[in-house]
Structure 1
Amino acid sequence: MALLIADDVHERGMSTYITKESGCLSACALIFLAGVERQTDGTLGVHQISSDSGDLVSAQLSISDILDVLNRFGTPIEVMTWMFKTPPNDMHVFTADEIESYKINRKRQGLAPTPSQTLATAERSANATTVTPSPVTPLATATKTSHDAVSNDEALANLSAIEDYTRRPTRMALYTGLDLFGDDIQAERTIDAAECAKTCLSMNGVCKAFTFNTSSKITKGPNCFLKSKEGRADGNSVAISGRFLSSVEPDPQNFTISTIDPTASLFKDVDLPGGDLTSRPAQIGGNAQQCRLACIDQGRCVAFTYIKRKKECWLKGVVGSPKYRAGLVTGIKDVKSFSAAKIISLQ
């Protein structure tokens, strides 16, 4: 049965891919090797065929059939060697070095994916390995981007089916109170977070994440910040952020960070006398934002005071009694845990 499936995969020009944390062993390997394009980021294992009949002629015919299809698939000779010398009650699992040395992974050069192409993803279930076909469709046309549109379209056209599959977003992890600080490629003004997410998604994979500022105080200028990557995770009570995940990426885990919320934990015209970590300002020049980040990055810092007039940043090891003092900005560090409020399917 595996040979019939493998032959069909090859005849249809399908591509095969083993995802991380997945395995393709025994007969599944025949199907994987049939891919016009093939790539394994998981486990690939082979061994001899097994038979209870003891019929030598039948066994030889089976081996002949296997050799015929493997040859048509362009299977590396080293793979066939391991397949036929590994006992049926054992399994040879290829190492990363062997996969590279034997050139097991293969890309179809010069051919762009079309809507009729299909990607076969080899996945391991509890008792057997299955191949799940899914259509490969062209990525949406970019509507807004600061990058050269022609170059981007050409790059997308040159993607192999596997590259297209592994980079195409299938889910969005949504966070509240989290700012993905920095790595902006574009800033927009949108009605809400949903429109911000759609704008990011329309950029053909250039935009990987976004942060939307929900503050009602921002009546003009951009409130949607589109990111080339996730950026620096930072707490901000008025922020909604989204990160796009491809089919090969696992759901994000919970994480904990030190933060000084620029909306809820910054206090204007407030001083924290004493408790300085050093006898000199940690930073001269810059601004209160840079002072805030310096405190977050300093493990011993629990607060900071920034003197605007002198452009001095004082990092604190102790939170003293607050006092009014014009022209100062003070921030208090906190530790917060974040988890995705929702993971939304894009399929």
Structure 2
Amino acid sequence: MGLLMADDIHERKLATYIPKDSACLSACAYMFLAGVERKVDGKLGVHQISSDTSDLVGAQLTISDIIDVLNRFDTPVDVLSVMFKTPPNDMHVFTPEEIDRYKLNRTGDESRPSAAGTSAAPDPSPPTPNATSTTESTAQPVRPEQPRSTETTVSTTPTPQTQAKLSPIEEFTKRPNRIAVYTGLDLFGDDIASIRASDAAECAQSCLVMNGQCKAFTFNANPKITKGPNCFLKSSAGRADGNSVAFSGRFLSGADADPPAFALGTIDPQSALFHDVDFRGGDLSPRPHSTAKTPLDCRLACVDDNRCMAFTYNYSKKQCWLKGSIGTPMPGKGMVTGVKKFQNFSPAKIISLN
């Protein structure tokens, strides 16, 4: 039955895909190998055929049929060898290195490998992600910190990209088909454009028209911000941070599972910062933080340290003090203090784009 279904897949020139956290084992492997295009993100496993009869002639005919069909799929001989060497009560699951070596992944515009099988050259070094730096004024602020995405120093307008023709597998694994939206969550870093948008829906649409270049966005919903960019388009989800005026979205493809809930320590710039206040005592170190030289850096240093429950930043000395406990609040001119709390985040809604 598996060979018949595989043959039908091959005749129909269908693509086959094994999603992450999924497995295609035994006879299912025939159907996967039949794909004109194919991609393994999960597990692909093979072994010998098994039979309860002692009919050797029938077994040889079955093996002959398997070899004939898999040869028509241009299955590398190495794959057949692994299959017939693996006992029927065992399973050989191909490693990522074997998947690459045997060219088990195949795109539509890729020439099919010969049945002899060839070793694939190693991929070149992966590209280094573009790092984005943020700056924060050392002068004492007169308003609460906005979502950090607003600290981008250059405002750019996204250019709609020409929609490239994708193969069936690329369509499934790359083209977004839904969006996970979050309230109170700020994504920052990896900005590719910053624009002015009337609302979050317009911000999301500006990301979507970039046809895959934009993976996520953050919209600053603070009504007091009336000028400058408030929509930040991103090449990845970047780093997550709590901010009550932020509305963020992450685009998902058919190959992506719905994102799970996660916990995050936050110091909300809108509600958890107290100006001209000092927390005395409770310092994690007898010295100020060695690298946090701005209020933003100090806040992030506390967020990133599981021991830190609060921080105090001294503007005049440019010193950051991380606190392991919340001490007694005291007047502290030229200081800003933040208090951490832990929050659970999950998508407020997952919206289909179909």
Q: TM-score range by the shorter chain?
A: 0.7 to 0.9
| Distance apart, 1:230 and its partner CA | 1.3
Partner of 2:324: 317
The one of 193, 198, 218 aligned to 1:191: 198
Distance 1:91 1:15, change over 3 A: farther
SS at match of 1:272: strand
Partner of 1:17: 17
* CA distance in 1 between partners of 2:192 and 2:168 (Å): 27
Contact 2:17 2:38 in 1 (8 A): yes
Contact 1:284 1:312 in 2 (8 A): no
| Distance apart, 1:315 and its partner CA | 2.6
The one of 331, 339, 346 aligned to 2:346: 339
Contact 2:292 2:301 in 1 (8 A): no
Q: In the alignment, does 2:158 pair up with 1:145?
A: yes
Deviations 1:168-213 (A, max 9, x none): 2233222221111322221122222222222222211111111122
| Distance apart, 1:270 and its partner CA | 2.1
Where does structure 1 lack aligned partners over 5 or more consecutive residues? 112-143
Q: In the alignment, does 2:10 pair up with 1:3?
A: no
Deviations 1:12-35 (A, max 9, x none): 332211112222233322221111
Partner of 2:105: 105
* CA distance in 1 between partners of 2:100 and 2:330 (Å): 64
User: Structure 1-normalised TM-score?
Assistant: 0.77
Q: In the alignment, does 2:232 pair up with 1:210?
A: no
Query: How large is the RMSD of aligned CA atoms in angstroms?
Result: 2.9
SS at match of 2:256: coil
Deviations 1:220-259 (A, max 9, x none): 2222221211111111111121122222222222221221
Distance 1:43 1:310, change over 3 A: closer
* CA distance in 2 between partners of 1:207 and 1:15 (Å): 26
SS at match of 1:322: strand
What pairs with 1:225-304 in structure 2 (closer than 5 Å)?
225-282=232-289, 286-304=293-311
Contact 2:83 2:92 in 1 (8 A): no
User: Structure 2-normalised TM-score?
Assistant: 0.75
Partner of 1:42: 42
* CA distance in 2 between partners of 1:83 and 1:302 (Å): 56
SS at match of 2:69: helix
* CA distance in 1 between partners of 2:317 and 2:214 (Å): 39
* CA distance in 1 between partners of 2:190 and 2:297 (Å): 16
| Distance apart, 1:81 and its partner CA | 3.1
The one of 224, 228, 233 aligned to 2:231: 224
Matched length: 308
Aligned-partner residue type, residue 189 of structure 1: R
Contact 1:38 1:106 in 2 (8 A): yes
Contact 2:47 2:92 in 1 (8 A): no
| Distance apart, 1:263 and its partner CA | 0.5
